[in-house]
Chain A
Amino acid sequence: MTVVDPITLDAPLLQSGQPSSAPTPVSADFADYFTQQLGEVNGQLMHAEHGLQLLATGQASNLHQVMINLEEAKLSLQLVAQVRNRLLDAFQEILRMQV
């Protein structure tokens, strides 16, 4: 006879480990800030890849959580790419100014 233990799903289930970028103060150098954001995106990508490894070895209990981590990492990377595009556009706007 199989018995399922009572399971309570509360806060630890949700992704509370978000790399919170809002509370951290913006450093004086924008390059440092951008590098820091890239580091966080890299951390998210590695976390997603770790989830994929767990899934491949059959240790992942939550398939949809792995997929959600993948999608979040992809979204963060595209956000960084968009920020880079806007910055380049603004920079080229400045370059176009006639001396």
Chain B
Amino acid sequence: MDYRNAFAISASGMTVEKLRLETIATNMANMHAVAGADGRLYRPLRVMTTEVQGGFHRQFNQGLEALQGTRAVVVESNAKPRAVYDPGHPAANPEGYVQYPGVNQVTEMVNMISALRAYEANVVAMNAAKSMAMKALEIGGNT
């Protein structure tokens, strides 16, 4: 396989982790957003990553030239909204409760840290692939 495949695979991994961080940042930014004029409350987003074409092992066995990384989609989660009792709030419903998005701040922080570590892991993998290629260039040298 071409050594550039390792770079492309790590690049796709890094892009997925960056996307994950962006969705987490969006969730944390909209944590305290009440429903807008259209009545729709913000729903927390999450990134779902799936394998491409069902199974890496099959691609390795066939020795395909273009090995693909991961495929990611951003979906809205079905977390229940938080209801806070605040009768004086302009957006309170008749019972006095205000609906906030069901964003769990602790979970988002943990996901953010894990996305950061996964990004670093992809960078390390790419550096390892580059070191391997550089070592291959030293074959037959220093005679």
Contact = CB atoms under 8 A, between A and B. Distances in A.
Chain A: interface size category = 20 to 34
Interface of A: 1-2, 4-11, 13-16, 18, 62, 64-65, 68, 71-72, 75, 78-79, 82, 85-86, 89
B59 interface: no
Interface in B58-100: 66, 68-75
A89 B16 CA distance: 46
B112 interface: no
Considering the complex of A and B, which 9 residue pairs feature the smallest CB-CB distances, nearest first? A14-B8, A64-B14, A82-B137, A6-B73, A15-B8, A4-B74, A1-B42, A68-B7, A6-B74
Given A6-B73, A9-B12, A14-B11, 9 more contacts: A2-B30, A8-B73, A10-B71, A11-B66, A14-B9, A14-B68, A14-B69, A68-B11, A68-B126
Interface of B: 2-4, 7-12, 14-16, 18-19, 22-23, 26, 29-30, 33, 36, 40, 42, 45, 52, 66, 68-75, 123, 126, 130, 133-134, 137, 140-141, 143
